[in-house]
Structure 1
């Protein structure tokens, strides 16, 4: 996804690609959503995990296919969007994470970002957007369903602390 294409659809935000230099701001944003992290680990979120979030991608794709966009209002990071371009197929876009700072939740920020992303994706010849969500999180399910995403398969992610986490794939066709 080209930054300029996304920025044109979302002019009220300052959008930029996040780098390792943005670790502290990203940590603060993710810490504002403690429930999300608790699905994956009983331990507190660490800077090591933030570094991993900024760089991790599936082995079968190039590092350049991953982008982590930061969305700013009044010079404050209010949301993060982690994307994998051309994954799992060429004309698909995979959302690894959309997280809005808790202060800005339920104020249409996530909906506006995703609507802008869908418009930018259409301009970029993307045919569908996919993601996985934590199956047990009903509020997140309602958010994605309102945006036209449909449930797919349920998968189980192994957790570092042992056990597995149920996640549901979701897809939104754009054309």
Structure 2
């Protein structure tokens, strides 16, 4: 006869989780989903609080993996990040010392062109901040570069640079 399950099944809005305790702290295991979401400590000793934390984690990971729109997280608690300011911040981040995992000077110089071109493109579309940039904006930018007959590797580098910048803005707290 199989062992009794020690973890409860929690069906969130986007994913299914196994909810268990370890050392008195509730944890969530999302590795059985179609996308491996990993294991997460919910930092709660109370089950109700753990379920609230898990519902929030479910939403955050759904946004991160494209299953939910970023606006579902609620109103932005950060100030809009102007396009030029974001460009400066990202270049400064990339230019930090190599020991702090910064990029080489030649790489930082290489990042300037895609950021400058994208900022000009975004302004032509009426955007003023990175908070307004959506998937459609990046797709429009890629289409524009294709129309100008840029090479595939150039498109790949430019879009990768932009995605890295956007992810860093969010991680650093400049974007929601």
What is the TM-score when the length of structure 2 is the normalising length?
0.26
Q: Which has the higher strand share?
A: 1
Q: Which structure is larger by alpha-carbon Rg, 1 or 2?
A: 2
What is the TM-score when the length of structure 1 is the normalising length?
0.26
The one of the two structures with greater contact order (alpha-carbon pairs below 8 A, sep at least 6) is: 1
Q: Which has the higher helix share?
A: 2
